[in-house]
Structure 1
Amino acid sequence: MKKSDTNNPRTGGKKDTANEVEGHFSTRTGRWVLFATVLASSMAFINQSTLNVALPALQSALGASGSELLWIINGYNLMIASFLLVGGTLGDRFGRKKILCAGIVVFTAASLACGLSFTTAFLIGARVVQGIGGALMVPGSLAIITATFPPDRRGRAIGTWSAATTITTVAGPLIGGVLAEKGLWRFVFFINVPIAIAALAALILHVPESIGEGASQKIDFTGAGLATLSLVGIAFGFTSAPEYGFSDPRVLFSLIAGGVLLAAFVFVEKKSSHPMLSLAIFRSRSFSGANLLTFFLYGALAAYSLFLSLNIIQIQGYRETLAGAVFIPFVLLLAGMSRWSGKLVDKRGPRIPLVAGPSIVGAGFLITGFAGLTGGPADYWTTFLPGIVVFGVGMGLTVAPLTTTVMSSVTEKLAGTASGINNAASRVAGVLAIAIMGSIALISFNNSALDRISDMELPSGVRYELEKEVSKFGDAGVPESVPAEFFSEIDRSLKYAFVDTFRLLMYICAAMAWISAGLAALLVKPRPRPG
């Protein structure tokens, strides 16, 4: 038997256990790798799925406006999108397990701060820190799996990871709904603590360290700073536009500055000897195609998840517990199909599922948009369920093949960077989708609501109070000062204004999904190879 190299500098004088277990999907270490990475990834997935259901309760408790609600989401997404690439590079250089553990610690500490928030501003600040922890945490999971399992078994391993993380995520909306309905929305953040403890224990005790050979010795903090500032500028511009107008100097300056800084980021990355975003990695058509697909599809997914949750709770009148259960068919379909679609990639390649999947997802968005103002949960089976089922089938065909394509298009030493880029693509897409589509939503809702009440003969003071309420978006209610004879009509007007806005957003989401399918057909090769 060959002795391990105890002087190997890549392992700090320890056995390179990752090499020993490589290819052995059923070994004890392989199972621990999947267990630990599933727990770590689930923290991020549960965080978002749980929060979406709890947002209405959180908004009411803190008195957040529609714009502030968007920042509670995007404060986290901005940081994770900006620093994911740094997180992947740090993992390749210093050790994926070390960086993953550090990310879990930061993420969990920020989760505690989120749960203790008593103002919207403090919560947004804590979410920013949480995003930094997530940026260190998210890339490591897939990079560790890629370093452990060989290409011929990687699809099955990633499919198992996808299915398992989805199964854990199904608890998110259910738990979030129960907690929000009981007035315990703060525990949406506190539930990360026990998961973090279990993940850290598994990582420290059972998961081998792995480092990307040839990883850069320098970290591109300049690139990370430019990426962050550019996204902040663009997001602030679009999120503030409904309140100030696109002609406002603050909005114009933010959008222009964001665009200039984005161009500067690309220039710096092109010239840097240690870029955060290595443009050379995009020479792979399949890698480029997979990330473009991710950008459009996951941007649509971010908007869909947020606005559907607000719709069914604030407009359709679902209790939070029932709202959490609305997504169960989607999650079960995704969980049930992910491992199968991973095996399909191993046998047939990724192009077919990456064209068919997003096409079906787009149909699901379109069907969901057809639902108008319903009679509540009793109408769920004929209004929202059909679109959610179609959406689930499409995502079940897409998730594992997409992830496998990304990780199989690069060499193992770039696994952390590739994972970071793909995750960053989805997060950047989410930031921009929520900012841009959030801006469209706020403007559309404001115009539709005020247009519907414009013909009502209301006192000027009452009309002013209504205009203030409209800024709350889905949480807008009829002020107590409204005369009784107008109450029902105004309530219906506000709800129909939201439904009109939601339908417009679903049409946009469908178009984005179909664009992603077209990109897969054009760019993804039948059998991606590293390069």
Structure 2
Amino acid sequence: MTTPNTRAPAEAHAPTGNPWHTLVAVAFGVMMVGLDGTIVAVANPAIGAGLGASMDQLQWVLHGYLLGLAAFLVTAGRLGDRFGHRRTYTVGLVGFVATSVVIALAPTVAALVALRVLQGIFGALLIPAAMGLLRTSFPPEKLGRAFGAASALISTATAAGPFVGGVLVDTFGWEAVFLVNLPVGILAFALGLRLLPPNRATDSSTRTDPLGIVLIGLSMFGLVRALVEGPHRGWADPAAALPLGGALLAGAVFVWWQRSTDHPLLPLELFANRTLSIGAVLMICMAIGLMGTLFYATFYLQDVRGLAPAQAGLVLLPMTAMMAVTSPLAGRVLDRASLAAPTVLGLLAAAAGVFLLSRLEQDTAVLSMTGAFALLGAGLGAVMTGATAAIVGSAPVRLAGVASALQQAAMQLGGSLGTALLGAMMAADAVSGTDPAVFMDGLGRAFTLAAAVLLAAAVPALFLRRRTPVDQVV
């Protein structure tokens, strides 16, 4: 039996135009959002000096962006399905660039943080729409390559953020890490006008779910806020406990409401697809390995080894390069073979890379470090591609935006969770840089945990299976 809004005619979602043109068009927008998540980290000292901001205020320059992004992702994905991914992508792109320019002119740190939240919301519109465009533009037999290329762009931009940010801050000042989005955004907008396929909705008959939007926004906001505050203040502190309790409550009510309403924001039948559910878990584990390792490795390179931001970025470059190489290669394997093989191999390689990093000492040779970072990057690139294909490729085309939002939400939550979990393994004063020995002990424990998470994730990855969604064109 077929019920309204459950299936859509396959011909309504048939790919049109040249799909590689779509990939080129969204490339710069995707990279811009990925870059902005990490590029600001090295600019924080300069922002603090320029705006007279405290350390507590500066951490919200990053976390405000992540909160806006995480809280709005699923809603943004649903908007793309209803109103068209090209239109949603364009609105997100223009808003993201405009907000970036205004941030560079912010007179106070409070204004800067508020604008960063808004920037995150526009980023939430942009990324799921870009992935939705790829999902609806590429035929099934080429989706792996498309997701591999997109994963390479996102992971490369994310990992390159500290190096690019260091160069820009050293040369032009902190404002440059935001103003760089202007020329990139103009190029992305021009390419979009020329190369993107005509706007079309994939699920235009659905209605807006205002209560669902509020509930999932509150849940995501509270969860990320708790993950930000918990490692520093303690999980019993009201700053962490109250947001966590609110997130769990809002999440439970959200699930109940999605089961009750005729037009859910997030159709829960998506999770009946085992491959999609496993993909979401793998994306979280991948982000724990990527963002958690990147965060504390940066402290090690700068505070313990005494490297400048740009120099630290160069040491991390092998990880970036290998992610860029293995992601498209894994995509080709996904198109020709199974989802499980490259993903499992990637998890094993990434776990080995992080374990080698857990053995770092204060005077470890640079060559040994770069080898471990390269192995980590090679594995993470394959895992990101496999997990993305499992989530977005397994969902019906009509829900491409929602599935893309799930992929990004899992990545963002995994990044926050990774920082929190690895932070719990560090001693209270380990990240201050005042005691290198204490830091190194904590770093070893933290990276060992990250390796264990990646290794454990290889078990469910064995059960990944390619399934054809009900309205996928075959």
Structure 1 CA distance, aligned partners of 2:232 and 2:106?
25
1:339 corresponds to 2:328 = yes
Q: In 1, distance between residues paired with 2:42 and 2:240? A: 30
1:380 aligns with 2:366: yes
Query: 1-side partners of 2:240 and 2:147: how far apart?
Result: 42
1:517 aligns with 2:439: no
| TM-superposed deviation, 1:288 | 0.7
What displacement does 1:125 show? 1.6
Equivalent in the alignment of 1:50: 39
1:146 aligns to what? 135
Distance 1:510 1:69 in 2: 30
Q: 1:418 aligned to 2:399?
A: no
In terms of mean alpha carbon deviation, does 123-132 or 231-240 score higher?
A: 231-240
**Alignment length, in residue pairs?**
460
Within 5 Å, give how 1:61-80 maps onto structure 2.
67-80=56-69
Q: TM-score, normalised by structure 1?
A: 0.79
Q: Which amino acid aligns with 2:268?
A: L
Q: Any gaps of 5 or more consecutive residues in structure 2? A: 1-7
RMSD value over aligned CA atoms?
2.8
Q: 1:242 to 1:303 in 2, by over 3 A?
A: closer
Aligned to 2:439: 498
Q: List alignment gaps of at least 5 residues for structure 1.
A: 1-9, 11-15, 22-28, 449-472, 477-490
Q: Which residue of 2 aligns with 1:255?
A: 244
**Aligned sequence identity (%):** 29
Which residue of the other structure, out of 188, 191, 210, is the alignment partner of 2:180? 191
Change beyond 3 A, Cα 1:359–1:69: farther
Q: How far did 1:325 drift?
A: 1.4
1:272 to 261, 280, 289: 261
Q: Distance in 2 between matches of 1:229 and 1:279?
A: 18
Alignment partner of 2:277 out of 281, 285, 288 = 288
Q: Which position in structure 2 is the counterpart of 1:227?
A: 216
Q: Which secondary structure state, in structure 2, belongs to the residue aligned with residue 444 of structure 1?
A: coil
Give yes or no for contact 1:95–1:209 (8 Å, CA) kept in 2. no
Distance 1:509 1:244, change over 3 A: closer
Is residue 2:343 matched to residue 1:404?
no
The CA distance in 2 between the partners of 1:181 and 1:59, in whole Å, is: 15
The whole-number CA distance in structure 1 between the counterparts of 2:68 and 2:205 is 22
Residue from 422, 427, 439 that aligns with 1:444: 427
Alpha-carbon separation, structure 1, partners of 2:55 and 2:446: 16
Q: Tell me the distance in 2 between the aligned counterparts of 1:213 and 1:167.
A: 30
Distance 1:305-1:213 versus aligned 2 partners, 3 A rule: same
Counterpart of 2:192 in structure 1: which amino acid?
Answer: L
Query: Structure 1, residues 443-485: CA drift from partner, whole Å, max 9, x if none?
Result: 7233x6xxxxxxxxxxxxxxxxxxxxxxxx44x6xxxxxxxxx
Change (3 A) 1:56 1:381: farther
Tell me how far 1:139 sits from its aligned partner: 0.6
Contact 1:70 1:434 in 2 (8 A): no
Alpha carbons 2:67, 2:225 under 8 Å: kept = no
Residue in 2 aligned with 1:328?
317
CA 1:273–1:432 in 2, change beyond 3 Å: closer, same or farther?
farther
Q: Which has the larger radius of gyration?
A: 1
SS in 1 for 2:395: coil
* TM-score (ref. length: structure 2): 0.88
Structure 1 residues 133-177: Cα deviation after superposition (integer angstroms, max 9, x where no partner): 011000111211121111112222333334455566676443212
Matched letter for residue 444 of structure 1: A
Structure 1 residues 336-381: Cα deviation after superposition (integer angstroms, max 9, x where no partner): 2222211111111111111121121122112112213237xxx322
Moved more, 234-243 or 194-203: 234-243
Shift of 1:388: 0.3
Distance 2:107 2:367 in 1: 38
